[in-house]
Amino acid sequence: MTRVLTAADVDAASVRLHGIVERTPLQLNVRLSALTGADVWVKREDLQPVRSYKLRGAYNRIAQLTDEERAAGVVCASAGNHGQGVAFACQRLGINGRIFVPSTTPRQKRDRMVAIGGDAVELVVSGDTYDEAAAAATAHAAKTGAVIVHAFDHPQTIAGQGTVSAEIVEALGKAPDVLVLPVGGGGLLSGVVTWFSERHPQTRIVGVEPAGAASLTAALAAGGPVDLERLDTFVDGAAVRRIGDAPYRVIAPAGIEVVTVPEGAICTEMLDMYQTDGIIAEPAGALATAALRSAVRVKPGQTVVAMVSGGNNDVSRYSEIVERSLVYEGRKHYFLVNFPQEPGALRRFLDEVLGPDDDITLFEYVKRSNRELGPALVGIELGDPAELPNLMARLDASPMTVEAIDPDGPFYRFLI
């Protein structure tokens, strides 16, 4: 099998991107260092002009188009960050582009693509997932002759993403012991694996996927890229149904570690990054650092680098982020409670069931005058997650009929 690319291709991309992309800082993270006992550094790709590393791959690909290809224009599909990179490159190089995004792309990312690209790009909303937007982009290319600038499944894109590698080593003055990277379509991971496998093979590289969009994990289990039957689009920057063919050809033989992180854990990490580190990360941007909380074990004293891959987070999403974090930590629980339709029923619930540090965050009650029981949807936030067994014991001992709502069930998804 021929190689997808080499470390020399990545180095050539670094030269091509000089003066275009930011050499983003590598910062020692006190919080994660204390948590792990290692020296944890974060590569701040959220500080790129488009607030994501995706600029590297998009520009490297578009800058190498022929005059004929430039005249035909470019087209891409994006969950948001790649589209901003394409918009930046189109505006900078004077090339017309069309960007297809799924309806799940946050408004903030859509607005940024239009602002960055200006008159050079046109934004089209198509489908509910990245893959549906990609199909629309492919159809447009077939009809018009525009060049597809893939977000991850092209050697030139991969080489551009891999340019973070040399920057990390140069900033540290050495190769890290452990390098933790987010995984969506696999472009970043395959570019970094290519460079490090030749230049510093002793570095342990770990890829991190969201649990609801683990396309690389599925591909490694199946022996090749496969479509995920179910896709959780919450981590929109990494919600790819099928890992890229070219990235897979690099990653699979490398035998690197791949782990998954629950979406709730990502939300908890996003909040810690915001409140403690002063970093505004999008869900995909917090993937790598979230893995250091439990999924990736490192040794005390090791030098660890984790990438903050993007900071394009819509502020309107924070209420959902807080909700998911509370549920993941075991602090937030929902119940269907049948209250006797008699005076004092709610007061007894508060006095006899609720703990002293617990709080009711949701109470929706429907009174049925012709029934003895009235159903209520109750949300409870615990002062201490360890108190859940005691709460459940008090609920069991109460005269009410209570049903806990499964966080993985369809009714819970309706709540948030």
The pLDDT value given to residue 369? 53
- 3-class DSSP string for the chain: CCCCCCHHHHHHHHHHHCCCCCCCCEEECHHHHHHHCCEEEEEEHHHCCCCECHHHHHHHHHCCCCHHHHHHCEEEECCCHHHHHHHHHHHHHCCCEEEEECCCCCHHHHHHHHHHHHHHEEEEECCCCHHHHHHHHHHHHHHHCCEECCCCCCHHHHHHHCCHHHHHHHHHCCCCCEEEEECCCCHHHHHHHHHHHHHCCCCEEEEEEEHHHCHHHHHHHHCCCCCCCCCCCCCHHHCCCCCCHHHHHHHHHHCCEEEEECHHHHHHHHHHHHHHHCCCCCCHHHHHHHHCCCCCCCCCCCEEEEEECECCCCHHHHHHHHHHHHHHCCCEEEEEEEEECCCCHHHHHHHHCCCCCCEEEEEEECCCCCCCEEEEEEEEECCCHHHHHHHHHHHHHCCCEEEECCCCCHHHHHHC
235 and 310 assigned to the same domain: yes
Span 115-156, pLDDT tens digits: 999 999 999 999 988 889 999 999 999 999 999 999 999 999
161 and 308 assigned to the same domain: yes
Cβ atoms of residues 311 and 47 within 8 Å: yes
Q: What's the domain range around 394? A: 330-415
Q: Which residues contact 289 (CB under 8 A, 6 or more apart)?
A: 29, 32, 42, 180, 269, 273, 281, 306, 308
The pLDDT value given to residue 371? 65
Give whichever of 46-50, 316-320, 344-348, 365-369 has the largest mean pLDDT: 46-50
192 and 269 assigned to the same domain: yes
130 and 180 assigned to the same domain: no
Catalytically annotated residue among 14, 43, 52, 54:
54
For residue 290, what is the domain's CATH number? 3.40.50.1100
* Entry pTM: 0.90
Q: In the chain, how many domains are there?
A: 3
Is 54 an active-site residue? yes
Does residue 166 have a pLDDT over 70?
A: yes
259 and 384 assigned to the same domain: no
Q: Quick one: tokens of 170?
A: 């140069």
47 and 114 assigned to the same domain: no
Last residue of a domain, one of 154, 180, 201: 154
The pLDDT value given to residue 398? 86
Beta bridge partners of 100: 77, 124
36 and 67 assigned to the same domain: no
Does residue 109 have a pLDDT over 90?
A: no
145 and 162 assigned to the same domain: no
Catalytically annotated residue among 14, 165, 190, 309:
309
Is 309 an active-site residue? yes
For residue 408, what is the domain's CATH number? 3.30.70.260
Does residue 403 have a pLDDT over 80?
A: yes
Does residue 38 have a pLDDT over 80?
A: yes
Phi, psi of 89 (to 5 degrees): -65, -40
- When pLDDT is cut at 50, 70 and 90, the band that residue 76 belongs to is very high
Does residue 367 have a pLDDT over 70?
A: no
234 and 246 assigned to the same domain: yes
Closest CA to 284 of 106, 102, 39: 106
95-123: average pLDDT = 92
- The reply to whether 214 falls in a domain is yes
307 and 409 assigned to the same domain: no
- When pLDDT is cut at 50, 70 and 90, the band that residue 346 belongs to is confident
Last residue of a domain, one of 307, 323, 339: 323
- The reply to whether 1 falls in a domain is no
Q: What is the mean pLDDT of the chain?
A: 93
348 and 206 assigned to the same domain: no
Last residue of a domain, one of 101, 122, 154: 154
What is the percentage of the chain residues whose pLDDT exceeds 90?
76
372 and 390 assigned to the same domain: yes
- The reply to whether 2 falls in a domain is no
The pLDDT value given to residue 188? 98
- The reply to whether 224 falls in a domain is yes
